[in-house]
Amino acid sequence: MLGYRVGSALILLGIIVLSVFLLGLSIEQGDFGLLLAGAGLCLFGLILRRKNARRSEAGPARFQSLRHFLGEAEDEESQPNGD
């Protein structure tokens, strides 16, 4: 969970650095280092977020008893698609 949040923070910082680069470029004083730093921060943040993303294979535990009561607890993949 911490890696996901750090990744999000790095993406935000990367976007800010890229914005500063674009502002500098608009007044013809763009620094190539800012472009590389912003892109690097965004890329590293995306890698951290993807690595630490929680993929829940099962549905969320919230309202599990209600789903069971309504008969929606079966796995959707086992139901025919009609293809």
**pLDDT (tens digit per residue) in 3-39:** 888 889 999 999 999 999 999 999 988 788 999 999 9
Residue 69 resides in a domain: no
Residue 76 resides in a domain: no
In angstroms, the CA 14 to CA 72 distance is 43
Domain region containing 34: 1-53
Q: What is the pLDDT of residue 16?
A: 94
The DSSP annotation for 50-78 comes to HHH----SSPPSTTHHHHHHHT--S-GGG
In angstroms, the CA 36 to CA 7 distance is 17
- pLDDT classification of 74: cutoffs 50, 70, 90: low
Q: What is the pLDDT of residue 57?
A: 45
Buried b / exposed e across 35-71, counting CB within 10 Å, b at 16+?
Answer: bebbeebbebbeebbeeeeeeeeeeeeeeeeeeeeee
Long-range interactions of 30-36: CB distance < 8 A, separation 24+: none
Residue 49 resides in a domain: yes
Residue 21 resides in a domain: yes
Residue 35 resides in a domain: yes
Q: What is the pLDDT of residue 77?
A: 46
Residue 64 resides in a domain: no
Residue 61 resides in a domain: no
Residue 38 resides in a domain: yes
Its pTM stands at: 0.62
What's the domain count of the chain? 1
Residue 44 has pLDDT above 90, yes or no: yes
Please give the residue that has the higher pLDDT: either 23 or 70: 23
